[in-house]
Amino acid sequence: MYDTPHSPFARRRRALRAAALTTALFTSLLAGCGARQGSGDDAKPTASPARGFPVTIDNCGIRTTYKKPPSRVVTIHQHPAELMLALGLKDRMVGTAFPDSSVLPELRKDFEAVPQLAKKEPSFEKVLQAEPDFVYGGYGSAFADNEGRSRTAFTKAGIHTYLNREYCGKKQVSMQDTYDEIRTIGSIFGVSERADKLVTDLKGRVDRTTGRVRKAPAVPVFVYDSGDKAAFTAGGKSLGTEIIRLAGGRNVFADLDDVFADASWEQVVARKPEVIAIYDYAGAGSVEQKKKFLLSRPALADVPAVKNKRFVVLPLTATLVGIRPPYAVEELARGLHPETFR
């Protein structure tokens, strides 16, 4: 359907064939000149592999060898786009999709300069129209087979793919995963030095925050993602739990053996959180709606966090493997221990 004789994909293929014929003719002419000017023993190859390449990456069970850095990238979901921009790779990006929260201020201008393909996940055909050579997905849904966007489908179209390591079936997500993700993307794009510098900067941000709250008592924190009949919250396997710990807190549902899970409201009451961290993202109700819901439940009236209206808002992207978690540590620490930041 997308590979008809008049489709963009077909036109691109014809253009590539024409370019190849032109290159072959030009090379033949140069070879002829070289034969008249000197011996064939003096001839040197005109092309050399990119520095540091080839690079082989194992990602979610798929092994890919990159002979050169990708040059036309589509990111699906916001956190891969922010990571690309933080590595100075805006010039490689030909499309983004599915922004779900505010972008870091220092990246906003560059983010807005990249074409947005869709407000949610784009169709396979829509991605092909951008003519990418690499698609970077943030959630597993980026490559949903039932929507025609499987990684196999992209491979058959000659397009490399990469899925955020958080969705490779990991049972535990940590801050180290964020640093490893940055370095992996840096190696794929031949900017490992930039990646190392970014990781050093982010680690420094975390270290400065943890240094300020190290001696403060851990504050009990309840993460409210969504839910009315039950509370959908961050479990012990989540990066959110580590963010809370580094910020000088304690996730009251760290004993849940999952990244996310449901908890009863009775459990929330029994665990007496002093602060509620509200995850903010599109499609789950506004922050004000979530606050209003929590404040309106009679059963929660005596919960310290509700009684004292102690809420900290974190964009969901700040709790996902990418560049944002170190920022979330500082932001949450300011809410948990405001006295140490005065």
Listed in sequence order, the residues at least 6 apart from 4 whose beta carbon sits closer than 8 Å to its beta carbon are 10
Going by pLDDT thresholds of 50, 70 and 90, the confidence category of residue 321 is very high
262 phi and psi, to 5 degrees? -85, 140
Residue 136 parent element (H or E):
strand 134-137
Q: Is the pLDDT of residue 45 over 50?
A: no
Residue 51: the pLDDT is 80
* Structural domains of the chain ordered from first start: 55-163 (3.40.50.1980), 199-337 (3.40.50.1980)
Strand, coil or helix: 163: strand
How far apart are the C-alpha atoms of 202 and 181, rounded to whole Å? Answer: 13
Q: Which residue has the tokens 């002093």?
A: 274
What percent of the chain is predicted at pLDDT more than 70?
A: 86
| pLDDT, tens only, 148-176 | 999 999 999 999 999 999 999 878 899 99
> How would you classify the pairing of strands 160-163 and 219-224?
unpaired
> Does residue 31 register a pLDDT over 80?
no
Max Cα-Cα span within the chain: 93
Please give, one letter per residue, the 3-state secondary structure of 209-266.
HHHHHCCCCCEEEEEECECCCCEEEECCCCHHHHHHHHCCEEECCCCCCCCEEEECHH
Residues 6 or more apart from 249 whose CB is under 8 A from it? 218, 219, 220, 221, 275, 332, 336
| 239, 174 Cβ separation under 8 angstroms | yes
Give, in order, the Cα–Cα distances in Å from 35 to each of 41, 43, 47, 52, 155. 10, 9, 19, 33, 41
Rounded Cα distance between 107 and 78, Å, is 12
Give me the count of residues in the chain: 342
- Residue 86 pLDDT grade (very low, low, confident, very high; cuts 50, 70, 90): very high
User: How crowded is residue 48: how many other Cβ atoms within 10 Å of its Cβ?
Assistant: 7
Amino acid 318: pLDDT? 94
CB 102 within 8 A of CB 45: no
In DSSP terms, 134 is beta-bridged to: 73, 160
Q: Token pair 């190392």 is at which residue?
A: 196
Number of C-beta neighbours around residue 307 at 10 A: 12
CB of 219 closer than 8 Å to CB of 225? no
Please choose, from the candidates 247, 250, 218, the residue with its C-alpha nearest in 3D space to the C-alpha of residue 234: 250
CA angle 84, 321, 163 (to 5 degrees): 70
- Report strand pairing: 62-66 vs 55-59: antiparallel
Strand partners, 56: 65
pLDDT tens profile 203-262? 999 999 999 999 999 999 999 999 999 999 999 999 999 999 999 999 999 999 999 999
Q: Is residue 44 over pLDDT 60?
A: no
The DSSP bridge partners found for residue 220 are: 250
CB neighbourhood size of 189 (10 A): 23
d(CA 160, CA 39): 41
